[in-house]
Amino acid sequence: MRRFDVDDLKDVAVGAAVLGTGGGGDPYIGKLMAMQAIRAHGPVEVIGVDELDDDAVVAPAAMMGAPTVMVEKLPNGTEIVTAFRSLEEYLGRPITAVLCGEAGGLNSTVPFIVAAELGLPLVDGDGMGRAFPELQMVTFTMHDVPATPMVMADDKGNSVLLHTIDNRWTERLARSATIEMGGAALIAFYAMDGRTAKRAVVRGTVSLAADIGRTIREARATRRDPIEAVQARVGAHKLFSAKILDVDRRTVGGFARGEALLEGVDDDAGRSFRIQFQNEFLVALEDDDVLVSTPDLITLLDADTGEAITTESLRFGFRVVALGIPSDPQWRSDEGLALVGPRYFGYDIDYRPVEDRVGT
pLDDT digits (tens, 9 = 90+) for 273-321: 999 999 899 999 999 899 999 999 999 999 999 999 998 889 999 999 9
CA distance 74 to 219: 32
Mean pLDDT of 53-57: 97
**Each residue of 220-275: pLDDT tens digit?**
999 999 999 999 999 999 999 999 999 998 877 778 789 999 999 999 999 999 99
Q: How many whole angstroms separate alpha carbon 47 and alpha carbon 294?
A: 29
Residue 178: pLDDT over 60:
yes
pTM of the model: 0.93
**Mean pLDDT, the chain, as a whole number?**
93
Residues of the chain with CATH 2.40.390: 224-358
Q: Is the pLDDT of residue 4 over 70?
A: yes
Residue 71 — pLDDT band, cuts 50, 70, 90? low
CA distances 19 to 79, 158, 205, 287, Å, are 25, 31, 9, 25
Question: Does residue 1 have a pLDDT over 80?
Answer: no
**CATH classification (class only), 224-358:** mainly beta
For residue 70, name the pLDDT band (cuts at 50, 70, 90).
low
CATH 3.40.1610.10 intervals, the chain:
2-205
Sign of CA dihedral 83, 89, 90, 95: positive
For the 2-205 domain, the top CATH level (class) is alpha beta
User: What is the per-residue pLDDT across 75-134, written as a single tens digit (0 to 9) for each?
Assistant: 767 899 999 999 999 999 999 999 999 998 889 999 999 999 999 999 999 999 999 999
